[in-house]
Amino acid sequence: MNKIEGVILDWAGTTVDFGCFAPVNVFIDIFKHAGVDVTMEEARAPMGLLKIDHIRAMLSMPRISHLWQERFGREFNEQDVEKLYAEFEPALMSSLSEYTDLIPEVIEAVQTLRSQGLKIGSTTGYTQSMMDVVVPNAHKKGYSPDFYITPDGTNSLGRPYPYMIYRNMEALKLSASWKVVKVGDTTSDIKEAVNAGVWSVGVIIGSSEMGLSLSEYDALSEVDQEKAISRTEQTFLQSGADFTIKTMGELPELIERINSLILEGKRPSAGLTYLVEGIY
């Protein structure tokens, strides 16, 4: 059967938590407590990684690394990473349940895909203990994938490693990587998909990459909305996405177009973008 068998979705910024705000404020706070002020953009840049890897990536940024050396008179070390993470996890856990509202069009898109016989998997940068909060709250609001896994289930080898996608394929009995679509809202999601050899799709509105809350997005003029969409789209495409969609509501139509490409003998491009009329 030469068509898509399963779709693997990210969580925060893709299916729940419009704008992916739950972790961002905590990252800013823990660095501030350490005496280093980081920007919203710096806190978002590594989004999608396992959260301790995210902290490590932030500390490795030239500006933050320089500020750290000024503050402590030395380069950061692994003990600093672990200390910051020890503050991060309980702070996030205390507020995480407040950030589990579903992003518009998710339920409808998933229902459509399931009605077509597709399996719904998921990957995340959250740990298992974090997902123990997110999963039941999302379920109460109407969303439950057929399978989910965290980096805890892959020996802490999260994105951009492909192993969480492979575990989804195994659990859902998906027969080939080119019959799988991965949808996410960060460059880490895109790289995870490229490394796994599956079709890579970036979802724009509500994404961490766009970085706007729903009210902030709605407050923009139509021109500024289009600028934000275009900027986010280009970032995804430059990271290797096969496609972008504005919202999850466009996903079922995109799956149909990918099925047509598969029938033509096309496979995931690993960075060579397909231009499909009507689909961003």
Annotated binding site for Mg(2+): 10, 12, 185
- Rounded CA separation 134/143 (Å): 11
- The reply to whether 10 belongs to the active site is yes
- The reply to whether 53 belongs to the active site is no
Which H/E stretch holds residue 268? none
Q: Catalytic pick from 17, 29, 32, 51?
A: 51
Which residues lie below 8 Å from residue 111, measured CB to CB, with a gap of 6+?
Answer: none
**DSSP summary character for residue 103:** P
Judge whether 145 and 120 are in contact, CB under 8 Å: yes
Which residues lie below 8 Å from residue 186, measured CB to CB, with a gap of 6+?
Answer: 10, 13, 20, 47, 48, 207, 208, 209
Report the relative pairing of strands 199-203 and 180-184 from DSSP bridges.
Answer: parallel
Query: Count of CB atoms within 10 A of residue 83's CB?
Result: 14
Pinpoint the alpha helices (H) of the chain. Answer: 22-33, 40-44, 51-60, 62-72, 78-95, 106-115, 128-140, 163-172, 187-196, 214-219, 222-238, 251-263
Residue 6 backbone dihedrals phi, psi, to 5 degrees? -155, 155
Structure tokens given for 269? 């491009």
- Please enumerate, by residue number, every residue annotated as part of a binding site: 10, 12, 185
Which H/E stretch holds residue 201? strand 199-203
Instruction: Please name the residue that has the structure tokens 């439950």.
Output: 144
- Rounded CA separation 186/232 (Å): 9
Report the relative pairing of strands 199-203 and 6-9 from DSSP bridges.
Answer: unpaired
Catalytic center residues: 10, 51
